[in-house]
Amino acid sequence: MPNPTAAMLVIGDEILSGRTRDANMHHLAGQLTEAGITLSEVRIVSDDHEAIVAAVRALSEAWDTVFTSGGIGPTHDDITADAIGAAFGASVDVRADARDLLAAHYARTGSELNEARLRMARIPDGATLIDNPVSVAPGFTLGNVHVMAGVPSVFQAMVASVLPTLTGGTPLTSTSTRIDRGEGDIAGPLGDLAEAFPDLSLGSYPFQKDGKFGANIVIRGQDADQVAAATARLEALFA
């Protein structure tokens, strides 16, 4: 049986401008691989309402699960909650349970729950909250879309909250073999090997370092025995 599928939507002008390097995709990909869920697509969109709505609808229809990061903070450009609500036809307003979480947190820290911070309690109707043990302000799940913060530490904590609720598959097994030959020399035999193991993924990743060049061949699959057999044949081909 194929593994469940997932997509990620990264939201934010700061990512597209190059000001901020996204670390959340790398973390999510590793966590999903361990859970046996295939990350099939990643998109990056700007802080634009219509762009977010269109991307959420497309990804939600195409894949089993969608994760978003970014745009659920207290500032004017944090528009993700409203866009998610629009994508699902759900109204968005301050919700009592989310407000209570924030009120208790700011009371403990001696800060004011002002109008800006209260924006983080705006949740679409029908959504369930995602726990945030780092900074309290919750994410939320609506339909098959999990909406999370962009700050890496918070994103990672929210992923840890959501993953146990998802149905996973068989975790992928992978090997990486260094071949000190150019891709032009190994392409033919590598193609034959891929045909011999159609249930596996074979990827060639060239390198050039310290005057040496070649390729790292990564073999991935759900069947550990097949991965081992294909790796052994690869090593024999280019011994």
Cβ pair 103, 113 in contact under 8 A: yes
- Expressed as residue numbers, the domain containing 10 is 5-165
Split into its structural domains, the chain has a count of 2
Of 165, 189, 220, the one marking the end of a domain is 165
| Residues 138, 100 within the same domain | yes
Six-digit token pair at 51? 């762009």
Q: What are phi and psi of 179, to 5 degrees?
A: -120, 120
Of 113, 131, 165, the one marking the end of a domain is 165
pLDDT of residue 48: 96
Dump pLDDT digits (tens) for 159-206: 999 999 999 998 889 999 999 999 999 999 999 999 999 999 999 999
211: confidence class by pLDDT, cuts 50, 70, 90: confident
Residue 147, pLDDT above cutoff 90: yes
d(CA 147, CA 131): 11
pLDDT of residue 209: 84
Dump pLDDT digits (tens) for 94-125: 999 999 999 999 999 999 999 999 999 999 99
- DSSP for 61-119 reads HHSSEEEEES--SSSTT--HHHHHHHHHT--EEE-HHHHHHHHHHHHHHT----HHHHG
Which of 34, 23, 25 minimizes the C-alpha distance to 7? 25
Segment 204-228 shows an average pLDDT of 92
| Residues 127, 226 within the same domain | no
227: confidence class by pLDDT, cuts 50, 70, 90: very high
Within the chain, where are the H helices?
A: 13-16, 24-35, 49-62, 80-88, 96-109, 115-118, 152-162, 183-196, 224-237
- Average per-residue pLDDT for the chain: 95
| Residues 65, 161 within the same domain | yes
| Residues 134, 18 within the same domain | yes
| Residues 94, 143 within the same domain | yes
pLDDT of residue 198: 95
1: confidence class by pLDDT, cuts 50, 70, 90: confident
| Residues 202, 115 within the same domain | no
| Residues 78, 161 within the same domain | yes
Segment 25-43 shows an average pLDDT of 96
| Residues 86, 194 within the same domain | no
pLDDT of residue 239: 84
pLDDT of residue 212: 87
Residue 232, pLDDT above cutoff 90: yes
| Residues 39, 125 within the same domain | yes
| Residues 95, 192 within the same domain | no
Of 165, 184, 214, the one marking the end of a domain is 165
88: confidence class by pLDDT, cuts 50, 70, 90: very high
Q: What percent of the chain has pLDDT over 70?
A: 100
CATH assignment of the domain containing 158 = 3.40.980.10
